[in-house]
Chain A
């Protein structure tokens, strides 16, 4: 999970406190919508546009550690982006929290 220094251009996207109430937030990085989710004390970042039908994951919910798409209730593992009972995978991004600020790698992680 921790990429080597110098290989990632981290982009600061939001203070962590902004995630604490609703536990989710949509941010935009380099023209790409990204959904942040706070699960326990970890922040996860996934592409906001659902691989299934293009709806916004940040308008969905978190349930038992899974991200639930609001449109058709597909559930995703926030760590890997893998959808339960489906072949598809949602692109995910590495996250780094530094001094209470959430940073995201704009490039999706290669799985």
Chain B
């Protein structure tokens, strides 16, 4: 596609689509912009669904990321409750076919269909909740404060955040994790232990190596039995065992899929192999030029950046420098952040105090920082990001010394942008 397109359709109304649309308008794109959302809600952000929103501290307004009034003012057609089934192509145009008939002709299409909560076979019911959408969150929010005890299957980010929110509301929480530690692959054993401690000291009954044998719903609750023989009775069961791509449209449209991670294969600029068709966010498995591999991530920052990359590509603007992967979580009073790519052979260098719950763990290999896990010390993340991106050689003693200004290790002198 050589010229700037005249019609862009985003299939999906999450962070990736919204970032793309906002940037297109901000940068003066004057063509037609259509956003198709299959939910009936105006586009919203998901991170608070397991945190502030779930605890009743935030409302729908706080979640909304694309106001219908902004859409009217900026001439964006926001079609809610509208599902697209397929994209077809010919030499001049792409057509987005809608469920129930109808089509929209476009020069460019952004596939941003996201992911959905993974289901465990046979584990469904009135007292079983998955958390992905606003409707899911509303259901859980209605039941959580009144639940005396909940069980959670899965100790990943969503499971942990629900556990923390439940404890904040005074609910008893038992969390069953299949692995030996929570977030083990991401954090490594030492920091996964610290992470587990954060939950235990807040009263979560955290159990590892647990596989589910059966879930039985009774008149008064739900009984979970595990292969290790544990029996957990609860008023409510939250299943938080990851997500699977919403790839029906992509498959029906003949887009190439990632055979390992799932999702739509795209290049660094989020282009699929079909001209004028892009994919971004949780659904996209993007080529990472620094590693030469495709990566599919399910984090807000990733979705936002990819949406903006699509906007730049559509406008014919240059791609921006790579930023390392980053995500955060807020649990109890703690702010947790992770930047970079974990690697199993890294040495963990701690800056700050683990016992005070205020530290950054740097994952160092051959004198370079590859990742960092910051607990209530997000001020270190800026430096960590730059150390990772620049592959800056740094001594472990320097990282561990809280009196060194890590940003001063970098070449860039801090001045107001010229």
Interface residues of A (CB under 8 A from B): 22-23, 39-40, 42, 53, 55, 59-66, 68-73, 85
> A-facing mask of B375-404, CB < 8 A → 1, else 0?
001111111001000000000000000000
Q: Are A71 and B377 in contact (CB under 8 A)?
A: no
- Are A61 and B415 in contact, with the CB atoms below 8 A? no
A42/B377 in contact, CB under 8 A: no
Is B326 in contact with chain A by the CB < 8 A criterion? yes
Cβ of B417 under 8 Å from chain A: yes
Which residues of chain A have C-beta atoms less than 8 A from B382's C-beta?
60-61, 63, 68, 73
Given contacts A40-B416, A55-B335, A71-B335, contact A61 B379 (CB under 8 A): yes
Given A22-B405, A55-B335, do A63 and B378 touch, yes or no (CB 8 Å)? no
The residue from A39, A42, A71, A85 contacting B378, defined by CB atoms under 8 A apart: A71
A60: contacting residue among B326, B379, B414, B416, CB under 8 A: B379
Q: Are A64 and B378 in contact (CB under 8 A)?
A: no
Contact of B412 with A by CB under 8 A: yes
Alpha-carbon distance A39/B412, docked complex (angstroms): 13
- Known interface pairs A70-B335, A71-B335, A71-B378. Does A64 touch B417 (Cβ–Cβ under 8 Å)? yes
The docked-state distance in angstroms from the alpha carbon of A62 to that of B412 is 12
Which residues of B pack against A, CB within 8 Å? 19, 22, 301, 304, 308, 326, 328, 330, 335, 337, 377-383, 386, 405, 407, 412, 414-417
Tell me the dominant secondary structure on chain A's binding face: loop
Interface centre among B19, B335, B377, B383, by most chain A C-beta atoms within 10 angstroms, is: B335
Across-interface contacts of B19 in A (CB, < 8 A) = 85
Q: From residue A33, how far is it (CB to closest CB) to chain B in Å?
A: 16
Q: Is the CB of A70 within 8 A of B414?
A: no
Tell me whether A62 and B378 are in contact in the complex, defined as CB-CB below 8 angstroms, given that A55-B335, A70-B335, A72-B328 are known contacts: no
* Cross-chain contact B379 with A70 (CB below 8 angstroms): yes
CB of A37 to closest CB in B, whole Å:
10
Known: A63-B414, A72-B328. 13 other contacts (CB 8 A): A40-B414, A59-B379, A61-B379, A61-B381, A61-B382, A62-B414, A64-B414, A65-B415, A70-B381, A71-B330, A73-B337, A85-B22, A85-B308
